[in-house]
Structure 1
Amino acid sequence: MILSHNDDPTLHDGFDNKDFIKEVCLLIKKCRPPKGIGLNGYWGTGKTSALLQVYFQLSGKSPYNNDIDTNSFSAEYVDESIIPIWFEAWRYQYEGQPIVALLNEIRHQMGMFQKFTDSTKKIAGVTILGALSVFDEVIKVASGGLLKHQIDKVQTIGDTWEKERYQQHLPGQTINKLLQEAINSILPEKDNPKLAIFIDDLDRCEPESALRLMEGIKVYLNLDNCVVIFGLDQRQIERALIKALGLNNHENDEHYAREYLEKICQDIIHLPLAGKKKKSDYFSGLLKEVVGEPKHQFCVEQIIKVTSMYDCLPANPRKIKALSNRIASMFRQQLSLEWENGPTFSSLGEEQDETSNLDKNAAICLIVAILYCFHRAVYEQLQKSPEYISTVVEYASSQDLNNEDYLPMRGIKPSMSVDKELPVNPSDSNVFRLHQLLIDLRTIGSEEILLFTNL
Structure 2
Amino acid sequence: MLLPDNPISGPDGDRFGFGTHAKVLCDSITTAEGLPLTIGVFGPWGMGKSSFMKVCEGLLKERGVRTVWFNPWKYDQKDEIWHALIQTVLTEIAVDLDRRREAGEETRQERLSAALDTVKRLSRAAAWLLARRAAGPLTAGFLAAEDVDAVQSALTAPGAETYLHVNRFEQDFREVVDIYSDGGRLVLFVDDLDRCHEEAAITVLDSLKLFLGEGSCVFVLAMDYQVVAEAAAKRFDREGTDGARGRQYLEKLIHFPFHLPGIPFELLYQQLSSEVTDPAVGASRELWELIEVAFAANPRRVRRFINGLNHTVRTLQQHDGRPGSDRLLHAGVLLAFQIKFPDFFSALQNDPGVWTRFDDAEFTKSDLGGRDGELAARNPGVRRLIAAVSSRRTGFSFPPPPTASVLRLLTEVLTVTGGGLTGEGDAHAG
- Relative to the length of structure 1, the TM-score reads 0.72
SS in 2 for 1:312: helix
Q: Deviations over 1:81-120 (max 9, x none)?
A: x111011112234042633322211111112234556987
Match of 2:419 in 1: none
| Residue in structure 2 matching 1:444, options 401, 405, 417 | 401
- Does 2:130 match 1:157? no
Counterparts of 1:236 and 1:89, CA distance in 2: 15
Match of 2:294 in 1: 313
- Relative to the length of structure 2, the TM-score reads 0.76
| Residue in structure 2 matching 1:6, options 4, 25, 28 | 4
Aligned counterparts, 1:331-350, within 5 A: 331-335=313-317, 336=320, 338=322
- Does 2:254 match 1:265? yes
Q: Which amino acid aligns with 2:47?
A: T
Aligned counterparts, 1:207-356, within 5 A: 207-250=198-241, 253-285=242-274, 287-288=275-276, 291=277, 296-302=278-284, 306-308=287-289, 311-314=292-295, 315-335=297-317, 336=320, 338=322
Match of 1:423 in 2: none
Counterparts of 1:443 and 1:305, CA distance in 2: 13
Counterparts of 2:248 and 2:399, CA distance in 1: 50
| Residue in structure 2 matching 1:433, options 338, 360, 385 | 385
Instruction: Give the 3 Å change call, closer, same or farther, for CA 261–284 of structure 1 in structure 2.
Output: same
- Does 2:187 match 1:204? no
Shift of 1:137: 3.5
| Residue in structure 2 matching 1:195, options 186, 197, 212 | 186
Q: Which amino acid aligns with 2:387?
A: H
Match of 1:124 in 2: 108
Match of 2:379 in 1: 412
Q: Deviations over 1:140-177 (max 9, x none)?
A: 5556xx25xxxxxx477356978435599966454433
Q: Which amino acid aligns with 1:225?
A: S
Q: Which amino acid aligns with 2:287?
A: V
Instruction: Give the 3 Å change call, closer, same or farther, for CA 117–45 of structure 1 in structure 2.
Output: farther
Counterparts of 1:365 and 1:51, CA distance in 2: 35
Match of 1:371 in 2: 337
Conserved in 2, the CA contact under 8 Å of 1:15 and 1:282? Answer: no
Counterparts of 1:131 and 1:211, CA distance in 2: 30
Instruction: Give the 3 Å change call, closer, same or farther, for CA 127–56 of structure 1 in structure 2.
Output: same
- Unaligned residue ranges in structure 1 (runs of 5+): 60-77, 148-153, 341-358, 417-431
- Greater Cα shift, 159-168 or 205-214: 159-168
The structure in which a higher percent of residues are helix is 2
- Does 2:69 match 1:86? yes
- Unaligned residue ranges in structure 2 (runs of 5+): 139-147, 156-161, 414-430
Conserved in 1, the CA contact under 8 Å of 2:358 and 2:386? Answer: no
Conserved in 2, the CA contact under 8 Å of 1:377 and 1:409? Answer: no
Conserved in 2, the CA contact under 8 Å of 1:313 and 1:433? Answer: yes
Shift of 1:395: 4.8
Counterparts of 1:113 and 1:28, CA distance in 2: 22
Could you tell me the percent identity over the aligned residues?
Answer: 18
- Does 2:363 match 1:400? no
Match of 1:22 in 2: 23
Q: Deviations over 1:165-212 (max 9, x none)?
A: 5599966454433321121112136xxx11000111222223332222
Shift of 1:257: 1.6
Conserved in 2, the CA contact under 8 Å of 1:40 and 1:271? Answer: yes
Shift of 1:55: 1.6
Shift of 1:360: 4.6
Q: Which amino acid aligns with 1:413?
A: P
Q: Deviations over 1:315-360 (max 9, x none)?
A: 32222111101110111112245356xxxxxxxxxxxxxxxxxx65
Q: Which amino acid aligns with 1:376?
A: P
Conserved in 2, the CA contact under 8 Å of 1:307 and 1:313? Answer: no
Q: Deviations over 1:32-68 (max 9, x none)?
A: 2210001111122222222222222322xxxxxxxxx
- Does 2:105 match 1:113? no
Conserved in 2, the CA contact under 8 Å of 1:199 and 1:228? Answer: yes
Counterparts of 1:443 and 1:436, CA distance in 2: 12
Match of 1:353 in 2: none
Instruction: Give the 3 Å change call, closer, same or farther, for CA 123–207 of structure 1 in structure 2.
Output: farther
Instruction: Give the 3 Å change call, closer, same or farther, for CA 171–322 of structure 1 in structure 2.
Output: closer
SS in 2 for 1:386: coil
- Greater Cα shift, 196-205 or 380-389: 380-389
Conserved in 2, the CA contact under 8 Å of 1:176 and 1:223? Answer: yes
Instruction: Give the 3 Å change call, closer, same or farther, for CA 385–215 of structure 1 in structure 2.
Output: closer
Q: Which amino acid aligns with 2:171?
A: K
Q: Which amino acid aligns with 1:134?
A: T
- Does 2:135 match 1:135? no
Shift of 1:214: 1.6
Shift of 1:433: 3.2
Conserved in 2, the CA contact under 8 Å of 1:41 and 1:271? Answer: yes
Shift of 1:271: 1.5
Conserved in 2, the CA contact under 8 Å of 1:95 and 1:158? Answer: no
Counterparts of 1:388 and 1:123, CA distance in 2: 79
